[in-house]
Structure 1
């Protein structure tokens, strides 16, 4: 299963390179089901993998002039606050077993996977639907609302270890009034900041990390991203996005079914 996991890790980067997002949503299922990593610890691994792949994409967009640093900071700083509150204060206090229904026990790990599956389904539906062209009617940025949205999305990132790019990009489009290319580039910077600080906080509180596995998975995802970027010059990523969305939707439904009916 571990070898299958490394092959699957390539898909994380491949999707990021081809369609510009969505790959990180597969990180947790790959870590939990193929590498048999505890879901809570898997969220830490995911923060590192998502962060390092976002950094690579961020550098590319910086060269293209697609980063808006001020908007990124107004979004990222509140996000970092909520991420640290979730991971370093709330997470450790959540009981291992939350409650029982008859003979079935709902654990913290089941809660993580259930919430993550809902995020996967929401992300899948966003990819399956035809994207509407967003027309920017104002050049002003509502920094207060942008910071508020950043705080809320930080909760998602902190709890699930997911980048939340499909949530960040619309926020930057509507509240920072950025063109799509700048929203994508700026979202990668935000994801890198959030994921890096979240992972650093986990290291500070002593979360056990198997660096060999972590670096190997990250390396495979990086290879996948390079392949995806090269293929993106020949293949229209927009056409592949709905197909990938259906795959993510299937995975989300599979996780719910497995965690609640086939434990």
Structure 2
């Protein structure tokens, strides 16, 4: 099979995953580029960053008018990761490939476990599962949060719960009211800075967006409602990706094979649109479970490859 056809097929699969799940493209793109198209891990990360950047811009454009993006919060969160992203991007071409592959395998396994844990939590609470995990799928998470709206038949998808006093977080989600400035506390800001720095380092080193890390941090540390967390995470992902990509290109040492780069990125972007239609037809839980199993198998394969 020619390199062109293989690059188109791999890019299309990555794009379908992005469109159907709303995230996880980088986690799939890097192994495909390394093991199927023969790129070095660092060069594969650079190509993956291009895909993540383009899809983040597209998703931000769709979310911009919804009121679910905290631009300032996202910018401040990402600011903590700028320096680590720059440093990690420079180191990406200097770290032994075996160590880079091992780190990526661990990250892929962690992402899969986060996704499976979200499925179990949703099943235990009796909630319908969206077409992607809320930590890794911004668009489907927004759709899931509106699952109580009436469907085509006019009947509620979920029976309303008895009325109760809304918490501060729920009130903010409903009315867009900012949380009190002192509600996070100094320790919360320290944790936010640490989370932002860690995400920036992961993006710079491995070439992935890291939405499955950003969303839980925004929810648990900054107490953002889920809809605003998934929208705000796009700002964080975009800034980290652009910084990492620019640093890699400026530092040199990146050799992009245009015969692979162009077809792969183009097919991934086009495939993302078809992935949205796929998500509307298939069970969200089935998609997440399949994706998680693929990630675990891929992580195991990468670790075995490093050891052997």
TM-score where L is the length of structure 2: 0.74
Please name the residue that 1:250 is paired with: 297
- Comparing 12-21 with 205-214, greater Cα deviation is found at 205-214
Q: 1:128 to 1:224 in 2, by over 3 A?
A: same
Please name the residue that 2:97 is paired with: 109
Pick aligned residue for 2:244 from 180, 194, 198: 198
Please name the residue that 1:102 is paired with: none
Contact 1:47 1:162 in 2 (8 A): yes
CA RMSD of aligned residues (A): 2.2
Please name the residue that 2:121 is paired with: 132
Query: Could you tell me how far 1:131 is from its partner in structure 2?
Result: 5.2
Pick aligned residue for 2:227 from 149, 157, 181: 181
Pick aligned residue for 1:81 from 74, 80, 83: 83
Query: Could you tell me how far 1:42 is from its partner in structure 2?
Result: 1.6
Please name the residue that 1:105 is paired with: none
For structure 1, list consecutive stretches of 5 or more residues without a partner in the other structure.
95-107
Q: 1:233 to 1:91 in 2, by over 3 A?
A: closer
Tell me, in whole angstroms, the C-alpha distance in 1 between the residues paired with 2:258 and 2:38.
Answer: 15
Please name the residue that 2:111 is paired with: 123
Query: Could you tell me how far 1:92 is from its partner in structure 2?
Result: 5.3
Give the SS at the match of 1:176: coil
> Is residue 208 of structure 1 aligned with residue 197 of structure 2?
no
* Structural mapping, 1:1-263, within 5 Å: 2=3, 3-88=5-90, 90-91=91-92, 94=95, 108-129=96-117, 130=119, 132=121, 138=169, 139=179, 140-141=183-184, 142-206=188-252, 207-261=254-308
Tell me, in whole angstroms, the C-alpha distance in 2 between the residues paired with 1:114 and 1:169.
Answer: 24
Contact 1:86 1:155 in 2 (8 A): yes
Structure whose alpha-carbon radius of gyration is higher = 2
Tell me, in whole angstroms, the C-alpha distance in 2 between the residues paired with 1:159 and 1:128.
Answer: 25
Contact 2:7 2:263 in 1 (8 A): no
Query: Could you tell me how far 1:65 is from its partner in structure 2?
Result: 2.5
What is the CA deviation profile of residues 142-183 of structure 1, one whole-angstrom value per residue up to 9, with x for unaligned ones? 444222210122111121111111111100111121222221
Q: 1:238 to 1:58 in 2, by over 3 A?
A: farther
Give the SS at the match of 1:232: helix
Tell me, in whole angstroms, the C-alpha distance in 2 between the residues paired with 1:63 and 1:152.
Answer: 29
Q: 1:56 to 1:212 in 2, by over 3 A?
A: farther
Please name the residue that 1:97 is paired with: none
For structure 2, list consecutive stretches of 5 or more residues without a partner in the other structure.
123-133, 135-165, 170-178
Contact 1:136 1:177 in 2 (8 A): no
Q: 1:48 to 1:17 in 2, by over 3 A?
A: same
Tell me, in whole angstroms, the C-alpha distance in 2 between the residues paired with 1:260 and 1:210.
Answer: 28
Give the SS at the match of 2:69: coil
Q: 1:92 to 1:230 in 2, by over 3 A?
A: closer
Tell me, in whole angstroms, the C-alpha distance in 2 between the residues paired with 1:249 and 1:31.
Answer: 18
Tell me, in whole angstroms, the C-alpha distance in 1 between the residues paired with 2:79 and 2:258.
Answer: 28
